Amino acid sequence: MHTVRAIHPRIEVVEPLPSPAALRAEIPLSLGAQDVVLGARRDIVQTLKGTDDRLVVVTGPCSVHDPVAALAYAERLSELSRDVSGELLIVMRVYVEKPRTRLGWKGLVSDPRLDGTHDLASGLRLARGLMAEIVGMGLPVACEFLDPAVPAYLSDLVSWAAIGARTVESQIHRQFTSGLDMPVGMKNGTAGGVEHAIDAIVAAAGGHVFPAVGDDGSAAIVATAGNPDCHVVLRGGANGPNYGPVDVARALDLLGSAGLPRSLFVDASHGNSGKDHERQPVVVGEIAERLALGERGIAGVMVESFLTAGRQDLVLGRTDDLTFGQSVTDACVDWGQTIRMIEDLAQSVTARRRLAEAPLLAG
């Protein structure tokens, strides 16, 4: 550890971090786990293209603060996902970085002990170990990539990623997304406009050259090939929800006019539920009804769900006071409600399939 204050008075400490290659060697991905990651990436792309008629469901806690609770959730979800695998492609939210509106705990990677000590090396190790364990259960993993240094440490474990509402306009995020190997959902901005997400899709589809952390941890110039698998995630915004049929049709038309596939995800939480977790089943119910009636533009749905309903305030350093399996960021639906929402969505896919087959049967 050495101080750099003489040159940069506002930087207090610079410490070394293990390189991405070193962390990968410490927590490798087994061949079986690699199949899970790659298989889900491929299947999600097929659902976006409409060649797989299942629905992607990205569900899990708003943020992971307790790996034990996250694993307990993952065990239940992996079992449930097997039951509905003919209709739904379930991916678990394992969100280890949190963007904050102002200030607050920024996730497991940033502060894994939840006490303000910011042991990032342990955070990355913990996040990688947790993701590896969940993928090892056969359950694919989703996260938001926030800090541009983090994907190099985790992205080989991730099947679906988001660029959040607060960073979708950032060139830096669009650049690193252009080098990611998984489908990436671009959230509409916090103000609600879908145009920034469409700009982000176009930008990330192109190749870029930019400075980054190399695999060995050294400063590097990275050139990317472009990511053709980005899509919009409608999450609502300051003016209210945008999951209704008119907003979805408008977003699909904008995508079509930009020469992009008419396919998107809907986030049932955030601006679409006014951050009221009890609204999420209502949003999911309405989407399920529309899917059952033949809606094809919605390829995926996101839900914020954990073991216990609601949310709790985190006081740094006071983890003993926390309720097990309850979110310390946005409020989530509980496990029982999650099962009902997933069953509802699975039934809607079955109904949509019957509808698609009906003319063939009649003929």
- β-strand partners of 240: 237
Q: Which does 100 bind (CB under 5 to 8 A by kind): ligand PEP, ligand E4P, none?
A: ligand E4P
Tell me the number of residues near ligand E4P by CB under 6 A: 9
- Cα(202)–Cα(260) distance, rounded to whole angstroms? 9
- Cα(203)–Cα(186) distance, rounded to whole angstroms? 11
Q: Which does 208 bind (CB under 5 to 8 A by kind): ligand E4P, ligand PEP, none?
A: none
Between 29 and 56, CB nearer to ligand PEP? 56
Cβ–Cβ < 8 Å for 308, 42: no
Least distance to ligand PEP from the beta carbon of 62, Å? 5
In the shown chain, the binding pattern of residues 140 to 169 toward ligand E4P, with x for contact by CB under 6 A and - for none, equals ------------------------------
Q: Which residues, numbered 318-337, are part of the site for ligand E4P (CB under 6 A)?
A: 329-330
Give the closest residue to 277 by CA, choosing from 300, 243, 311: 311
Interacting span for ligand PEP (CB under 6 A) from 120-128, 160-168, 172-180, 204-212: 160-168
Between 104 and 207, CB nearer to ligand E4P? 104
Q: Dig out the tokens for 185 from the structure.
A: 């959902």
Q: Which does 74 bind (CB under 5 to 8 A by kind): ligand E4P, ligand PEP, none?
A: none
- Cα(44)–Cα(90) distance, rounded to whole angstroms? 10
Please tell me whether residue 95 binds ligand PEP under the rule CB under 6 A. Answer: yes
Q: Which residues, numbered 60-89, are part of the site for ligand PEP (CB under 6 A)?
A: 62
Cα separation of the two ends of the chain = 75
Q: What is the DSSP letter of 62?
A: S
- β-strand partners of 233: 187, 265
Q: Which does 101 bind (CB under 5 to 8 A by kind): ligand E4P, ligand PEP, none?
A: ligand E4P
Nearest-Å Rg of the Cα atoms of the chain is 20
Q: Dig out the tokens for 214 from the structure.
A: 């190399």
Element housing 160 (H / E): strand 160-163
- Cα(268)–Cα(290) distance, rounded to whole angstroms? 14
**3-state secondary structure at position 149:** coil
Please tell me whether residue 314 binds ligand E4P under the rule CB under 6 A. Answer: no
Q: Which residues, numbered 101-120, are part of the site for ligand E4P (CB under 6 A)?
A: 101, 104
What value, to the nearest 5°, has the Cα angle with vertex 245 and ends 303 and 227?
60
Interacting span for ligand E4P (CB under 6 A) from 29-37, 92-100, 110-118, 316-324: 92-100
Between 47 and 272, CB nearer to ligand E4P? 272
Instruction: Give the footprint of ligand PEP on this chain (CB under 6 A).
Output: 62, 95, 99, 144, 164-166, 187, 235, 270
Footprint on this chain of ligand E4P (rule: CB under 6 A): 62, 98-101, 104, 270, 329-330
